[in-house]
Amino acid sequence: MEKQTIQSEQDIKDILKSYQLYQVMLDLPFRLNHVNCFMAEEGDGWKIIDVGLHNAETVARWNKELAQKNIKEIIITHYHPDHFGYAGGMQAKTGARLSMTKIDADMALDAWHDVFLSNLNKNYESAGIPTGIADDMTKNTAEFIERVTPYPTVDHYLKEGEHIRIGNYMYKVIHTPGHSDGLVCFYNSERNMLLSTDHILPRITPNISYWFHGDPNPLKSYLHSLEKIRSLDADLVVPSHGKPFYGANDRIDEITKHHEERLDTLLRVITNGATIYEACGKLFRKKLSIHETRFAVGETFAHLEFLRNNGDCQRVMYDGKYWYTV
Ligand SMILES: [Zn+2]
């Protein structure tokens, strides 16, 4: 089926309603300005899928949405702050059980940990990032601590192939590492519908970053996960950013092509040798905020490591920095 976005808010509402799903779009203070969370109504209570950043706006919005409702379960698709941040806060308020993958539960505990943060600065400098900018980037990461705490208690670890009820349908849990190591999508085979979370997005390509921990070749994992989803040939895709659309495989083609082009560009960029930061500057030409620079550097790093693991380039450590050359 050819890729086709559903434009009207009413159509989105109606389609989701037929799954007993309600979208809660939360504002984000970034260029990526929103995240879609979902509420699913079941006979004896509600399930929540993703919860947004822990900040005052998020808390106020959920207070309104959750009022008078029995919240049974909170399902977290991956550990990134815009999905996971308020998990512990909402769990404390509702007493709901919480499910996520073990991989991402562990990643969450790691990602804002003191030891990780103190190494981060050193790692940023090895990427060739000037000291002042590296400091700001580490500070920016640390600023997220208050937006992702308190941490929740995980009652159930989601597993590949497990079937879970969401609203009035059953979904298969599909592990699709890449955007995060433990990210899961949920697939309903009866209606050939995919809750794609951040694995497949309609307009932007999901950020694939290496941030000095976890999977050493996330782009390889991501491309493999795309092929895994391709085999479903899903019809309706409901993503965590942007509007639902039809035709998963057309979008998978576009995203795959994007990464192939980016890899080609990078090979040209590093012909005469470049640090990660230099390569990043040539790949992302527009002016980036510190927060965006973190993502751009991570994305560049992931692509360089993909090339290196493929035998397409080499990496040497010189003067405390990684240099990539063809
Ligand atoms: Zn996201």
CA of 196 to the centre of ligand 1 (A): 11
Does pLDDT of 27 surpass 90?
Answer: yes
Name which residue leads in pLDDT, 237 or 111: 237
Cβ neighbourhood burial of 114 (10 Å; 0-12, 13-18, 19+)? exposed
CA of 144 to the centre of ligand 1 (A): 14
Name which residue leads in pLDDT, 276 or 118: 276
Give SS3 for 237: strand
CA of 14 to the centre of ligand 1 (A): 24
Residues 51 and 83: beta-carbon distance below 8 Å: yes
Confidence bin at 1 (pLDDT 50/70/90) = low
pLDDT in tens, 301-321: 999 999 999 999 999 999 999
Distance CA 109, CA 80 (A): 11
Q: Which residues contact 104 (CB under 8 A, 6 or more apart)?
A: 76, 78, 79, 84, 180, 181, 182, 183
Confidence bin at 212 (pLDDT 50/70/90) = confident
CA of 192 to the centre of ligand 1 (A): 23
CA of 52 to the centre of ligand 1 (A): 9
Best mean pLDDT range from 24-38, 51-65, 131-145: 51-65
CA of 314 to the centre of ligand 1 (A): 32
- Residues near ion ligand 1 (CB < 5 Å) are 82, 198
For the ranges 167-181, 255-269, 285-299, which has the lowest average pLDDT? 285-299
Q: Is the model's pTM score more than 0.85?
A: yes
Distance CA 237, CA 229 (A): 11
Distance CA 226, CA 243 (A): 19
Q: Give, in degrees to the nearest 5, the angle at Cα 212 between 155 and 118.
A: 85
> What's the alpha-carbon Rg for the chain, to the nearest Å?
20
The crossing angle, in degrees rounded to 10, of helices 114-126 and 131-142 is 150
Which parts of the chain are beta strand (E)?
Answer: 4-5, 21-27, 34-42, 45-49, 71-75, 97-100, 156-157, 163-166, 169-175, 184-188, 193-197, 236-239, 245-246, 314-318, 321-325
CA of 258 to the centre of ligand 1 (A): 19
Q: Which residues contact 60 (CB under 8 A, 6 or more apart)?
A: none
Q: Which residues of 245-255 are buried (b: 16+ CB within 10 A; e: fewer)?
A: bbbbbebbeeb
Confidence bin at 188 (pLDDT 50/70/90) = very high
pLDDT in tens, 96-149: 999 999 999 999 988 777 777 788 888 999 999 999 999 999 988 888 899 999
CA of 50 to the centre of ligand 1 (A): 10
Residues 201 and 239: beta-carbon distance below 8 Å: yes
Considering only CA atoms, which of 70, 107, 86 is closest in space to residue 35? Answer: 86
CA of 201 to the centre of ligand 1 (A): 9
CA of 293 to the centre of ligand 1 (A): 17
CA of 180 to the centre of ligand 1 (A): 10
CA of 58 to the centre of ligand 1 (A): 15
Mean pLDDT of the chain: 95
CA of 15 to the centre of ligand 1 (A): 22
Distance CA 221, CA 215 (A): 8
CA of 94 to the centre of ligand 1 (A): 23
Q: Which residues contact 48 (CB under 8 A, 6 or more apart)?
A: 37, 38, 39, 40, 66, 71, 73, 74, 75, 90, 96
Does pLDDT of 3 surpass 80?
Answer: no
Distance CA 117, CA 109 (A): 12
